[in-house]
Amino acid sequence: MIRVVKASKTYNKGKPNQVDAVNEVTLHVARGEMAVIHGASGSGKTSLLTLIGCISRPTSGEIHVAGKTISRLPEKFMTMHRREHIGIIFQQFNLILDLSVEQNVGLPLFPLNMSKTLISERVDHLLAKMSLSKRRDFLVKQLSGGEQQRVAIARALINNPEILLADEPTAHLDTALTKELMETLAAIKKDARTIVIASHDPLVYNHPFVDRIFEMKDGKVVEE
Amino acid sequence: MILNPWVISMYVGILGMALLYSYALTISAQIVRYWDINSMEEGQLILERKSYLSSTIIQYGLGIEIVSIVLFYMTLESMAEVIPGAMCATGALKANMYGFPALFLKMAVAFVCAVWIIIHHVDTKLEDFHLTRFKYRCLFVLAPLLLCDFALQFLYFLNLDPNVITSCCGVVFEIEGEGFGSSVASLPPETMMLTFFISIPILLSMGYFLSTKKSPIGYYLYSLFGLILFVISILGIISFVAPYIYEMPTLHCPLNIMRREYHYIGYLLYAFLFIASFFSLVPGLSEFLKRKGGQIQNVVDDMQRKSIKISIVFWVLFFATSLLPIVLFEIRSEGGNLFS
Amino acid sequence: MNRYLNLLDFTIHSFFRRKGKNISFLLLFSYLVFLFTSVLLLTGAIKKEAQRGVNALPDIIIQKLTAGRQVPIPVLYEKKLNDIFGIQRIEPRIWGYYFDSPTQANYTIIGYDSHKTWDKELGLIVNPGEKGANLEKGEAILGVGVAKAKHLKPGKQFGLHTPDFRSRSFDVVALFKAATNLHTYDVILLSTKDTRAILGVEEGFATDLGVYVYNKNETTTIAKKITKLLPGIRVVVKNQLARTYDTVYSWKSGIILLALVSCLLAFAMMVWDKASGLSAEEKREIGILKATGWDTSDILIMKFWEGLAISLPSFMLGLITSYIYTFFLGAPLLKHLIIGWSVLYPPFNITPSVDFNQLLVLFSLTVIPYIISTIIPSWKAAVIDPDTVIRGV
Ligand SMILES: Nc1ncnc2c1ncn2[C@@H]1O[C@H](COP(=O)(O)OP(=O)(O)O)[C@@H](O)[C@H]1O
Ligand SMILES: [Mg+2]
């Protein structure tokens, strides 16, 4: 499902402040697996996820995601590929605070050629699944942290992705909520989705559903 | 030199666009020079993003060029009140040697923009940027055209002398007169009408054939026929559609039909004609692009079929609109013949 | 299609999320549109009004000059012109300026015979007094300005002097309608005989000869023939007058518009500045949109809608307020600016009229520059890198 071959991402190349955020990483995650990328802060987890998630392009190497080589794709096609196959839960949730829950969740579908009613149906369906139906018309800023987290998950799932990427999803959650989240992710995994989580939270990488753990350090995967 | 709101509005638009175009051209130059799709460097990414800007500019530019053609026409109409002897836009155009070239150049600019947008449209569907360098090279064709457009327009208004007597459309499109306008006006209306209306079934059957079958030669022929039909249509408007609109067998002016007295029917007519011709061009042009290889093949087929459909719709609309004044005349005159 | 609608929907929603900023911007823009529209509507209306006055004139006017000054022309000249093909009729006109010492003002005295051409039209432009609009010896029809200056109304009497200092008295029988002020404000209409007496034009002479032609297209040719037949005569063609009016007002409005264009430039720069100086919040928002699956072209479409969402309502608002200002309130201030500050200039009613052409010109003077100045900032917003935004640093 995901195959990364010697991929690197270098910021500010050739300048004094050059950073090798991801350095010749090679890894493989099969369909339906749950993988965790573990590493200290600044080790390049987020950067690696953005590469896999078609948000940024590697400076060298190859990346194959969901049957396509994306490492040299124009941005437009990266976006299209992401729309079709990938859902992302961001570290900071990255919700738009003064939009309603419904709009936040439906956001990724707006640029598609989909009617309003169809979008609305899909959103309702997901909100029910995430037990957020009652919060449908609330503004996101009126919600609690746990609820915001679930909105973020709902948004990541709205395009029915085969691959779900989550960047430090538990950073803002307490133990109880973290456990709840892992249950949710486990349930999502059961739908034959591939999940990659970047996290340094033991509650995450020690979870029984995790199939693979990659250890990252200074941009390199040092251990699998 | 004449200064009025029309002239000013034309300059405001064209000046703004000129600035943007020159920016678009500097971007194009960078792209042509440094473009390298195999590079994964940041510079290439920046170029890709910049290319969005220049294509956006050209697309807005086409819109503004079209508005500017309409504005030019209106400016001419307003000039006609000021220039002795001119009673309509045609007369104003004849007021000095820059008038007609300016108008034709404007149309050429719009045409080149449109063609460019077709190429661009194909290119954005290609994952390997196959046409990008080519399309930005093409953009340089536009530069001299735009420069001339700007210059001619400026020269035209600068050299308008309210004391020089010009001729009106009655003279330019006079049947017994000399020159191109007159020779068109004296084409026998019956023959023109016949040619005009025989083209419809030909076009429709070509369109039908191509919608069921892929044929490279067919696409080329379709576009070629579109161009021919465009010329025939313009001649037809001068030779018999306009006289029917005016209900005067001797009045052939193709510009006055846009006036309010004739319910702005000219705008409708020309809008349909230009849209139809534009979409007729797509099949042939994209067939040509296919020869550039890459993945173009798969992308273009769908486009060709769609644009043939659209062009046929607009050709039919165009023919219907040009028939309208004739039908109305026949009803009112109970089957009379305007030209006898 | 759905894509565009969804994006439009989102844009409108965003518009209201940033109400304060957007609405103040909208108001500013509509004020600019208002200024442009008012200038254009007013000059359009004045030109039309002037044109109407010109239309009432003969197609060709023939004047006699002696030592470079206009002198009465012998009516007999008429006979010489009879052979020219295409002339409908020739009419001797008696009129002139009269200095009235009590009011220290110049009036235009026009001679008029009831049975002649103006008859039908006169009824239309005159507010009949007790007697109706027939003009006989010793009677006068006055323009509103004359009546005001001399404190006259129908039924009252006033006096005028002949060149040999004899005083004659006239009854005011009617006033011209205020709607015709632009042409009749300073007019005193007398019978032809009375006019001859007051202005000192002898029988057999006229101030000038008015020539009417059948086919307006032949006016210039006929004027040329007249010049050949009567050397030393000044021939004025109506179109020249119309053109003069047109040029004068076009110039005036052109110059004011040029001044406005500099305002426009300042505005465009402001638009540019506002649009490119995205707030951190907006940047973050666009980054989120792109990270969740919006393409650069989607953001460009959104920005295009955004431009329309501001400029179209502004355009409409500016148009409507300007329409009210010009046609219902009579364009105070601006009217003086365009016509000139002359106090003598008649107050006249402006007849409402707007046409498609004017709308297009206004559109291209306001909305198009607006859109042009948003292109680059929109692009800048659209290519924001989601990578940097989603880290939230
Ligand atoms: N846009 C950027 N420009 C320069 N350096 C960056 C940028 N983004 C991230 N980095 C650097 O790349 C390294 C890896 O960061 P990141 O992938 O966010 O690590 P993690 O998610 O594991 O904390 C860090 O040193 C960070 O400072
Ligand atoms: Mg991180």
CA of A162 relative to ligand 2 center, distance in Å: 22
Q: With a 6 A CB cut-off, is A220 part of the ligand 1 pocket? A: no
**Boundary (domain end) residue, out of C181, C211, C238:** C238
Cβ contact, residue pair A111, C3, below 8 Å: yes
Q: With a 6 A CB cut-off, is A47 part of the ligand 1 pocket? A: yes
Does C322 lie at the interface with B, CB-CB under 8 angstroms? no
Q: Whose CA is nearest to atom 20 of ligand 1?
A: A42
Model pLDDT, residue C269: 77
The total of structural domains in chain C comes to: 2
Q: With a 6 A CB cut-off, is A11 part of the ligand 1 pocket? A: yes
- Per the CB < 8 A criterion, the answer to whether C317 and C156 are in contact is no
Residue ranges per structural domain of chain B: 5-158, 173-332
- pLDDT value at C89 more than 90: no
- Which of C357, C383, C385 is best to mutate for the B interface (most B CBs within 10 A)? C357
Model pLDDT, residue A129: 86
Model pLDDT, residue B20: 85
- Which of B53, B125, B127 is best to mutate for the A interface (most A CBs within 10 A)? B127
Q: With a 6 A CB cut-off, is A49 part of the ligand 1 pocket? A: no
Name the residue of A9, A19, A197 whose CB sits within 8 Å of the most ligand 1 atoms, as the mutation to test its pocket: A19
Model pLDDT, residue A79: 93
C31-64 pLDDT, tens digit each: 989 988 888 888 877 777 777 767 777 888 888 8
A113: which 2 tokens? 């050629």
The complex scores an ipTM of 0.92
Burial readout B296-330 (b: 16 or more C-beta within 10 A, e: otherwise): beebbeebbeebbebbbebbbbbbebbebbbeebe
For A133, the domain range is 2-223
Among C7, C287, C392, beta carbon nearest to A91: C392
Cβ contact, residue pair B82, C246, below 8 Å: yes
The least confident of B15-29, B292-306, C115-129, C228-242 is: C115-129
Cβ contact, residue pair A57, B127, below 8 Å: no
From residue A73, give the alpha-carbon distance in Å to each of A22, B41, B127, B134, B142.
19, 13, 6, 19, 29
Report which of residues C101 and C304 the model is more confident about. C304
pLDDT 10s per residue in chain B (340 long)? 566 777 888 888 878 888 888 899 999 999 999 988 888 788 888 999 999 999 999 888 888 888 888 888 888 887 776 666 666 777 778 778 888 899 889 888 888 888 889 899 888 888 888 888 899 998 888 888 888 888 888 888 888 766 655 555 555 665 555 566 666 667 788 888 888 888 888 888 898 888 888 888 999 999 999 999 999 999 889 888 888 888 877 778 888 888 888 888 999 999 999 999 999 999 999 898 888 877 787 788 888 889 999 999 999 999 999 989 988 888 888 777 777 6
Does A103 lie at the interface with C, CB-CB under 8 angstroms? yes
Helix H or strand E segment including B205: helix B189-212
Among A59, A74, A76, beta carbon nearest to B40: A59
- pLDDT value at C393 more than 90: no
| Cα nearest neighbour of B41 on chain A | A59
Asked if residue C214 and residue C252 are part of one domain, the reply reads: no
Does C30 lie at the interface with B, CB-CB under 8 angstroms? no
Question: How many residue pairs bridge chain A and chain B with CB atoms within 8 Å of each other?
Answer: 22
Which residues of chain C neighbour A99 with C-beta distances below 8 Å?
13, 17
d(CA B115, CA B281): 8
Among B41, B45, B124, beta carbon nearest to A76: B124
A143-188 pLDDT, tens digit each: 988 889 899 999 999 999 999 999 988 887 888 888 888 888 888 8
**Boundary (domain end) residue, out of C238, C263, C284:** C238
Model pLDDT, residue B165: 56
Helix (H, G, I), strand (E, B) or coil at B13: helix
Asked if residue C358 and residue C209 are part of one domain, the reply reads: no
C190-211 pLDDT, tens digit each: 888 889 988 888 888 998 888 8
Q: Which residues pair with C111 in a beta bridge?
A: C190
d(CA C324, CA C228): 52
Q: Which candidate, B252, B269, B273, places its Cα nearest to that of B338? A: B252
Which residue ranges in chain A fall short of pLDDT 50?
Answer: none
What CATH number has the domain bearing residue A205?
3.40.50.300
C residues 164-223 lying closer than 8 A (beta carbon) to B: 217, 220
Mean pLDDT, rounded, for C125-151: 76
d(CA A174, CA A177): 5
For C265, the domain range is 2-52+247-391
Asked if residue C144 and residue C77 are part of one domain, the reply reads: yes
| Cα nearest neighbour of B82 on chain C | C243
Model pLDDT, residue A181: 87
Fill in the amino acid letter for C37.
Answer: T
Asked if residue C207 and residue C134 are part of one domain, the reply reads: yes
C338-374 pLDDT, tens digit each: 665 443 445 566 677 777 778 888 888 888 888 888 8
The total of structural domains in chain A comes to: 1
- pLDDT value at C112 more than 90: no
C3-37 pLDDT, tens digit each: 899 999 999 888 888 888 888 889 988 998 998 88
Residue B8 — φ and ψ, nearest 5°?
-60, -45
Model pLDDT, residue C343: 39
CA of C288 relative to ligand 2 center, distance in Å: 16
CA of A72 relative to ligand 1 center, distance in Å: 21
Model pLDDT, residue C117: 46
Q: Please, what is the Cα angle at B160 between C252 and C53, to 5 degrees? A: 50
